[in-house]
Amino acid sequence: MYEKVNRMDIFRLLGVNTKYVSENMISIVESCLEELSEISKPKSIYRKFEIENFKLVGTNFELVGNDIKRHLVGCHSSYLLGTTLGVEVDKLIKRYQYINLERAIVLDSCGSICIENQCQILDDEIKSIEDSSYTTVRYSPGYGDFPITSQKSFAKVLELDRRIGVKINSLGIMIPKKSITAIIGVSDNLPQNILDRCKICKLSEDCIYIERMVERVRK
């Protein structure tokens, strides 16, 4: 199931120097991915909404925060998405926390990259649907000043609990933990602010992800 998951991303998340990955670490990661593939049950949903004055037409969802508004400048519509690996992944990681902490840590990192990979699949689907337009990169509650409590609005609009089994607690945290919600803007023109949020980062000059991000919005 996770053959296409980028192993290098997992090693980086674990803090492993990707130039010197041991055979033992490679073996552990492959074993964890295999175990995850056996018990995870990925589910996803996305819906398209027109945007009017930073509100999603047909809903009561108003986009709050200056950062998300800057992100969607020039966008006439957007996609809301939600995806999860399922509750069994949480249970597996928790079980290993008591019997093998090292494996629990690796499983947790593998799960994070696997759910990111699931989002990339949704990105590709949406990009293919909007092949004559430009799409922004994903933006999730908790980024910048886009409040994490907006998760509740995502849950309501997308019916996350009923459709993919994702609940939101009182703090705006998703359960299962290996779940993601995000918004993707759709524009007739290339978003000019695509790299604005990267300019303040001290690592931007050598960032391996910027080129990927720019590629996501090109036709």
Dist. CA 8–CA 26, nearest whole Å? 10
Q: What is the pLDDT of residue 133?
A: 87
**Residue 219 pLDDT:** 47
Q: What are phi and psi of 174, to 5 degrees?
A: -85, 145
pLDDT at res. 18: 85
Q: How do the pLDDT tens digits run along the chain, 219 residues long? A: 677 899 999 999 999 988 889 999 999 999 999 999 999 999 999 999 999 989 999 999 999 999 999 889 889 999 999 999 999 999 999 999 999 999 999 999 999 999 999 999 999 999 999 988 889 989 999 998 999 999 999 999 999 999 999 999 988 899 999 999 999 999 988 766 555 556 545 566 666 566 665 555 554
Domain ranges of the chain: 7-217
What's the burial of 218, exposed, middle or buried (CB within 10 Å: 0-12/13-18/19+)? exposed
Q: What Cα–Cα distance (Å) separates residue 88 from each residue in 42, 92, 111?
A: 10, 6, 11
Distance of alpha carbon 56 from the chain centroid:
20
The CATH architecture to which 7-217 belongs is 3-Layer(aba) Sandwich (3.40)
